[in-house]
């Protein structure tokens, strides 16, 4: 079963019981842009969750945990309950950032053991509008009486210390999901140091989509990761644990089962000056 749905699928199910729509639009250079866009127009019935508030925890001293630390499971569960998401609810998430923010929510739900289906809206809000579907500026009411019971799947995560110990280890592949210039250390607009984790290979997350913006098939995703063994432990990171999540799902779609997210990612790694940094291209897998 694919993890994305087209706007026609959602249009036919607006208002359906057991389905919650979540708007996750967010601009890294303007933290209020998403909520402004939501207030102006959104899919009818959609709730808004903000990356830096609802889908992340508070920033920690010294940059530990990165720019978007994971939220505490109990705090995330409270947020989910008030927008009507229980453990078996079907969720469809959208953004206008190519699916990166929507994927963050989908990964968080996987992390806390969600039982229901979680989909991304293919093409995001722009595709919804382009198809001529209705929009709304009304904010739906907070839902009462739903308590989300998280069952945390910590095997989906890996810590900075564990990543450090895995560098160069046989049977482990580290994937950097950022654009190539950031991976190579040619530019670094956000974090303390430029470069990448030594030994990491580069697979830019947005290459998981076709030229028209649709997500690639499992077979096409497998081609992106050709040369990697299904027996390998795959560690995926990006700048702050957000755009790595589409790569996590691409790998899972391609049949890789031992895939872990380094949630703090480069922003966490580069906050510690003792951590080694590599620049340039690593040998391709």
Using one digit for the tens of pLDDT, what is the confidence trace for 222-252? 999 999 999 999 999 999 999 999 999 999 9
**Which one-letter DSSP state was computed for residue 47?**
E
Q: What is the CATH number of domain 4-130?
A: 3.40.250.10
CATH 3.40.250.10 maps onto the chain at 4-130, 157-269
* pLDDT score recorded for residue 1: 53
Catalytic center residues = 238
**pTM of the predicted model, to two decimals?**
0.96
61/195 Cα distance (integer angstroms): 22
CA angle, 71 as apex, 235 and 141 as ends, to 5°? 130
pLDDT of residue 52: 96
- Res 282: pLDDT: 87
| Closest alpha carbon to 58 in 66, 268, 151, 83 | 66
pLDDT tens across 133-173, in order?
A: 999 999 999 999 999 999 999 999 999 999 999 999 999 99
Which residues of the chain fall short of a pLDDT of 70? 1, 283-285
H helix or E strand, kind and range, residue 235: strand 233-237
Please enumerate in sequence order all residues whose Cβ is within 8 A of that of 208, keeping only pairs 6 or more positions apart, or say none. 215, 216, 221, 224, 246, 247, 250
Return the structure tokens found at 61. Answer: 């001293």
In this predicted structure, what is the pLDDT of residue 285?
44
> What is the third-level CATH fold of 157-269?
Oxidized Rhodanese; domain 1 (3.40.250)
């Amino acid at each position: 079963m694919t993890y994305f749905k087209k706007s026609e699928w959602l249009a036919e199910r607006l208002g359906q019981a057991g389905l919650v729509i979540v708007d996750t639009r967010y601009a890294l250079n303007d933290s209020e842009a998403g909520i402004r866009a939501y207030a102006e127009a959104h899919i009818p019935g959609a709730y808004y969750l903000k990356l830096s508030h609802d889908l992340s925890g508070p920033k920690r001293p010294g940059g530990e945990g990165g720019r978007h630390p994971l939220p505490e499971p109990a705090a995330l569960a409270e947020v989910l309950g008030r927008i009507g998401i229980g453990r078996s609810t079907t969720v469809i998430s959208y953004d206008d950032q190519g699916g990166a923010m929507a994927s963050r929510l989908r990964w968080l739900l996987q992390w806390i053991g969600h039982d229901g289906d979680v989909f991304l809206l293919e093409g995001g809000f722009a595709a919804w509008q382009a198809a001529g579907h209705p929009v709304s500026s009304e904010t739906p009411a907070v839902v009462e009486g739903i308590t989300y019971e998280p069952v945390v799947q910590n095997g989906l995560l890996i810590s900075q210390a564990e990543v450090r110990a895995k560098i160069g280890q046989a049977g482990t592949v580290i994937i950097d999901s950022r654009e190539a210039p950031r991976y190579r250390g040619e530019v670094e607009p956000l974090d303390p140091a430029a470069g990448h984790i030594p030994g990491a290979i580069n697979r830019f997350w947005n290459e998981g989509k076709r030229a028209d913006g649709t997500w690639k098939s499992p077979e096409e995703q497998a081609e992106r990761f050709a040369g990697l063994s299904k027996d390998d432990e795959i560690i995926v990171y990006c700048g702050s644990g957000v755009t790595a999540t589409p790569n996590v799902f691409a790998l899972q779609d391609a049949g890789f089962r031992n895939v872990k997210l380094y949630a703090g990612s480069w922003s966490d790694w580069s906050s510690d000056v003792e951590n080694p940094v590599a620049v340039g291209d690593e040998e391709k897998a």
